[in-house]
Amino acid sequence: MKIVDVTEFWSERGGGVRAYLTQLLREGTTRGHEVVVVAPGARDEAVPLEGGRVLRVRGPAMPYDPSYHALWNVRAITDLIDRERPDIVEASSPYVAALVATRVRQVRVRSLVVHSDFIDTYARPVLQGAFGPRIADVALSPPWAMLRAATARFDVTVCSGRWLADKLEAHGCARVSCVPFGIRHAEFSPSLRDETLRASLLGALAAQPDATLVAVVGRLAVEKRVPLVFRAMAELRRTRPLAIVVLGDGPERPRLEALARELNLPVRFEGFVTDRPRFAKTLASADVLVHGCACETFGFSVAEALASGVPVVVPDAGGAREFADEGAAERYEPLGDAVAVSVATARLLRRPRAPMVAAAVAAAARVPPAESHFGALFARYESLLAEGPR
């Protein structure tokens, strides 16, 4: 079958959606399918990738993060996809991409892939902090109504975690199908821990036996709440020596660098590490992963840390908590402050390390392999094609 995915979120610096779609191209090609991704970019171009194609459509740079571009010419993009004559058209966002997918004429199945809980990620914290939960619920009714209306125009609404599927169904979204994401288990292992690398990342603190290397992983954007983690670690640093390694990049990096200086916090910004073996070795060399995002759809970084034998501190919400086994994790209230995150991290660091490493590996073993997600996804599409029009 031929699958065309249309997305608004394809950054030159990486990111979760781009990583997922790269896997879609690779896994689709491996299974004998033709996969094409349509994404905005700085210019019109066709780029071969992982056996498939990425069709970039020129669009203006986004003001918050110029590495992303706007998907704005709906008619031209719709015509482009029509010329491709796909069996399946996927929309990787409920915004313009969803509008395009519903306008494509020559297609047998339409799929809306929900990559993030965009309503509670961005709007709820602001509204709830300012007006309280009841008013926030009322104010968020229209966005949920819009998402319900969007899903009604698709043959399937795909999401990665049971918690998100339950939320979508509770809000009346149509034809929700939970197809869990997964990780590439073979890339991660506690055996990759490198004490020499760890010492270099700790810098001047390496000589102190109780020093802690904290990992922060992910795109540096507002929803990841990295300032919360930095302030929490500054609080914890009053009682124990620690340093932070940041594996990720994004529009918040300049502000985070300034915050680290303000807090006199030793932080090493590594950027997006595209060298996967190096990324896995760096992650395995950390002592703990502290995660700030309370609306993580799946929590790739948390799962990969566990597979590396690294215990985690996570909010008690979203995808990050789904596989954060108590034997290898501490949780804090989703809207907790820096003190709450600091206290949770201190609790974890007081526990014996060896049992946590074993529990982390056991918890990661329950996370599906990445290949199983795409196998299940393609099987779902083949079933829908066999059923014919709804």
pLDDT profile of the chain (390 residues), mean per 10:
94 78 94 97 94 95 87 91 96 92 93 84 73 82 91 94 88 94 93 97 95 95 93 97 95 96 96 88 98 84 96 89 88 92 97 97 92 94 87
Say yes or no: 107 and 206 in one domain: no
H helix or E strand, kind and range, residue 215: strand 212-217
Say yes or no: 158 and 262 in one domain: no
Contact 221, 250 (CB under 8 A): yes
pLDDT (0 to 100) of residue 380: 96
Residue type, 114: V
Say yes or no: 238 and 131 in one domain: no
Between CA 373 and CA 23 the distance in angstroms is: 10
Say yes or no: 54 and 160 in one domain: yes
Residue type, 80: L
Say yes or no: 227 and 168 in one domain: no
Indicate the SS3 state at residue 285.
Answer: coil
Report the candidate in 314, 278, 279, 280 with the shortest Cα–Cα distance to residue 295: 314
Structural domains of the chain, count: 2
Say yes or no: 32 and 174 in one domain: yes
Half-sphere exposure of 317 (CA within 13 A, CB side): 15
Between CA 167 and CA 296 the distance in angstroms is: 13
Say yes or no: 19 and 157 in one domain: yes
pLDDT (0 to 100) of residue 6: 97
Between CA 340 and CA 228 the distance in angstroms is: 10
DSSP state of 243: E
156 forms beta bridges with 111
Say yes or no: 78 and 210 in one domain: no
Say yes or no: 347 and 250 in one domain: yes
Say yes or no: 152 and 268 in one domain: no
E strand map for 301-357: 312-315, 329-332
Domain hosting residue 287, numbered range: 185-365
Question: First-to-last CA distance in the chain?
Answer: 19
Say yes or no: 161 and 225 in one domain: no
Between CA 363 and CA 347 the distance in angstroms is: 19
pLDDT (0 to 100) of residue 390: 65
Predicted TM-score (pTM) of the model is 0.85
Say yes or no: 207 and 342 in one domain: yes
CATH classification at residue 7: 3.40.50.2000
